[in-house]
Amino acid sequence: MKREPQKRPFKEQVVAWLKSSIARIWAVLKRVGRRIKKWVGRFWYRYQLTRWIIAVCLALFLIMSIHLTFVAKTADVKNLKNRLERTTVIYDRNKQSAGSLYAQKGTYVNLDGISKNVPNAVLSTEDRNFYKEHGFSIKGLGRAGFLLVKNKLLHRDYISGGGSTITQQLVKNAFLTQQQTFSRKAREIFIAIEVENQYSKNEILTMYLNNAYFGHGVWGVQDAAKRYFNENASELTVPQAATLAGMLTSPGIYDPIDHPAATKQRRNLVLQLMVENHKLTQTQANQYKQTPLATSNGYAPSDTYKYPYFFDAVIAEAESKYDISEKDIMNNGYKIYTTLDQGQQRSMQQTYDDDDNFPVNAADGTKVQSASVAMDPKTGGVTAVVGGRGKHVFRGFNRATQMRRQPGSTIKPIVVYTPALEHGYFYDSTLQDKKQSYGTNHYTPKNYDDTYSGSVPMYKALYESLNAPAVWLLNKIGVNQGYAMAEKFDLPVEKSDKNLALALGGMTKGVSIQQMARAYATFDNEGQMPSAHYITKIEDASGRVIVQNKGNKTKHVISAKTAREMTSMMIGVYAHGTGASAKPAGYTLAGKTGTTNSGIKGAEDGDRDKWMIGYTPDVVVATWEGYDDTNASHALADITDRNINVLFKSEMTGILDNTPGTKFTVKDAQKRAQDNTSKSGGGWKSLFNNDGDLLNQFNQSVNNFSNKAGQWWSGVKSLF
């Protein structure tokens, strides 16, 4: 009987099929691979690709070398010693020193003023071959290259360590960032070579020791010696020098004050390294290792940052306007000439230091904040600035330049009365003073005390800061005219601000105190608006001028006649208006006050912002007062004994005492109106004088007709 062949299990069939398929595919791939290899070989040989790769690599290396050489040659290495020896000095408008700026600097001492124990310890620890190298170490580069490959394989995008020489460390601190990348390391090496070409070894070592960081905000070996041992650098003992040398690797870890045990262990290691470098015998090192780690603080940092908010603003302007980094400003030994008036600045700071000039703190202790700017109206140079109350934080928030608040009635002269004068109205034109609603939303402005006289001359409406006449007048001349004038004065208005509320300071973003000071300088400068600035000139450490700002750029905004008329009307504010109690004795002042309501439920009677702006022919000062965050428990009292008038009077008295005391050439508008009334005495001349004169009415009628016609035509155009 014939037996049937036994079938293999299905699994074995699948495995066998896969093996045979893989074998066939592999055979095909091998044939294809041999053909590709043969083709590539012929192609490689035909086009000499090896030579091309070598040529490209050499070209890239050459390009990189040229670039890095250019970086080194343009790094201002020749000026390095001058930069490190000198601090950046700020000069006032009279070219007198006003203070200095420095961050990574201490008291600079020459090498002969440093104990030899210090370089012995530092070189033994940091760079034993310092006097044999030319800026970089071959071993260090090899170590850096190994670490680079290692970190790339581990997907770390940085270099850990790198064996930098003393010169490289100096370059890193003086020219580069602390970021550990290959490109930074390459620049460091090329600049280090250039430094070695320009300076002797002793000069490089001196610069390094004076530019090294030793923790607790202390830079340089002299200040470190004072900070930790109350000694001069020339008197440091071997254990003290070893302690400072050990700190260079990590001042935070090896800190003799906060971490004495770790610091002593590190000091003893440095002493042993000095033995290896033949600077000590083993016996000497063993004796020094037994020395207790004793510290004594005799360091007294000099306070040369005398005018903090002004100096902050100088740094900010150098960065934003002239592209000079904060690091360079603080460390490059510049001479910065500014518009500072030290008398005005000191006076302003003294006013702000006196708490009696401000309302009492809120129940939770929150201070009422304030800020002021004083400006030369002719040049726009800021002569004094204070950006807030309380402890100053280096380059912290400056309310005088960075804050935006609603301007309240201080905007009326700009968006209401100035365009009115330029469109046919006169300083004594009659304005309607009635409670009235406008538009479909029934916008109804109210006077402060909710009383109305029916009509009022323009100058009086201004100095009493009446709201109803201001809105009525803006409605008459057209909101577009007021909005356009705000733009001419460079106020940051938005399209959404184009409404009647603009007359009372209603703005989307608000304005800064400095912007308002600059705007009012226009009235004080014959209609020419200057450019606000702090810096007039900057010289580098070698004396080369790198920034020149003559400060004479002005923008024509309004006619000189209009500017004088506005000043005439605004004299009344401090003569017999809302600012009368803030008028400094013996001075004639023009300007405007302003207030914004809190708008907070539960604090309806409180205010959010209070403003006072005043000027003479010599200076314009803008001051704001309020809480940073207004809420039900943080709103300004409407009436208080220590209000902004008290602050402004004290502030202006001190500032004006530091000015020539130049007087206005225009008279108070109210006095002019009274003089005109007494001179006219009736008759036909009265038609052209007084509050209700026919000439004013005629001009107003023509202006109103023109505005109505313009609005009608705009409406017609909008249909198409």
- Which residue numbers are catalytic? 126, 409
For residue 179, the tally of other CB atoms under 10 A from its CB is 10
594 Rama class: left (phi>0) / alpha (psi -120 to 50) / beta: beta
For residue 414, the tally of other CB atoms under 10 A from its CB is 28
User: What letter does residue 158 receive in the DSSP assignment?
Assistant: S
Label residues 477-499 b or e (16+ Cβ within 10 Å = b).
Answer: bbbebbbebbebbbbebeeebeb
Residues 334, 337, 343, 345, Cα dihedral to 10°: -70
Residue 338 to residue 311: CA distance in whole angstroms: 10
Closest CA to 187 of 78, 77, 71, 76: 71
Residue 145 to residue 590: CA distance in whole angstroms: 70
CA 204 to chain CA centroid, nearest Å? 34
CA atoms within 13 A on the CB side of 45: 5
Label residues 114-127 b or e (16+ Cβ within 10 Å = b).
Answer: bbebbbbbbbbbbb
Residue 366 to residue 359: CA distance in whole angstroms: 11
Q: 87 with 101: CB under 8 angstroms? A: yes
Residue 608 phi, psi dihedral angles, 5° rounding:
-90, -45
Which amino acid would we find at residue 291?
Answer: T
For residue 555, the tally of other CB atoms under 10 A from its CB is 15
Q: How is residue 181 written in tokens?
A: 């990348």
Residue 492 to residue 514: CA distance in whole angstroms: 13
How far are the Cα atoms of 415, 428, 511, 520 from residue 490, in angstroms, in the given order? Answer: 12, 28, 10, 11
Residue 527 to residue 94: CA distance in whole angstroms: 27
Residue 406 to residue 598: CA distance in whole angstroms: 11
Beta strands 369-375 and 382-386, pairing class: antiparallel
Residue 591 to residue 645: CA distance in whole angstroms: 13
Q: How is residue 471 written in tokens?
A: 């809105």
Residue 610 to residue 603: CA distance in whole angstroms: 16
Using DSSP, how many helices (H) and how many strands (E) does the chain show?
25, 14
User: What letter does residue 415 receive in the DSSP assignment?
Assistant: I
Q: 486 with 502: CB under 8 angstroms? A: yes
Q: What angle do CA 483, 486, 491 make, to 5 degrees?
A: 130
Beta strands 369-375 and 607-615, pairing class: unpaired
**Residue that has been written with the tokens 């080194």 in this structure:** 72
Closest CA to 414 of 354, 307, 503: 503
Say whether 529 sits in a helix, a strand or coil: strand
